[in-house]
Amino acid sequence: MEKSMPNTLSSTQCYYCAIHPAERERTAKVTMYGNIRRSFRKVEYDRTELSVPRCRQCQRLHTVVSFCRMIAILLLLPLTIWLNVALLPTAYRGTGVLLALFLAVVGGIILGNLLGKRIFLQPKHIRFETDITSLPAANRLIQNGWTLNRPTP
């Protein structure tokens, strides 16, 4: 069960670069989870969506990092499938294709994030889209046990 909590944040400066003025339509939405209560096969928690002030340039760079993830997945997919065909016996190829897909997606997300951050964000001193730990509203929630990861049973 999830319950939403309202969030209000007003700022005129972009949180991610701290240089440009934020634009209302470019605001990033970051979901946080807290007040987690677990019982047998059931998890209840509160959810809030933080509005993070962002400028046009940072939104564009965050979009580029998202494309980096997709490109990395698409580049890893043929490699993992080739490895499946080259290394696994014929009897295991069906399972191997699923494993190849999984490895391409997970590896692509990790590799795309790392390359995207290193190439596009770090040289310009731009924070990653979910790097909100120094945002005052997020910092208060984190100190009270809230997290960016959705609770699982």
Q: How confident is the prediction along the chain (153 residues), in pLDDT tens digits per residue?
A: 455 544 444 458 999 999 999 999 999 999 999 999 988 889 999 999 999 999 999 999 999 999 999 999 999 999 988 888 888 777 777 788 888 899 999 999 999 999 999 999 999 999 999 899 889 999 999 999 999 999 987
Residues 6+ apart with CB under 8 A from 132: 15, 30, 50, 52, 138, 148
Two structure tokens written together for 121: 């964000």
CA distance readout (Å), 11 to 22, 104, 123, 133, 134: 7, 39, 25, 16, 14
Q: Cα 31 to the chain's mean position, in Å?
A: 10
Q: Is the pTM of this model over 0.85?
A: no
**pLDDT value of residue 3:** 52
Tell me which residue has tokens 């946080």.
32
Per-position DSSP letters for the chain, written without gaps between them:
-EEEE------SB-TTTSSSBP-GGG-EEEEEEEEEEEETTEEEEEEEEEEE---HHHHHHHHHHHHHHHHHHHHHHHHHHHHHHHHS-GGGHHHHHHHHHHHHHHHHHHHHHHHHIIIIIGGGTPPPTT--TTSHHHHHHHHTT-BSSPP--
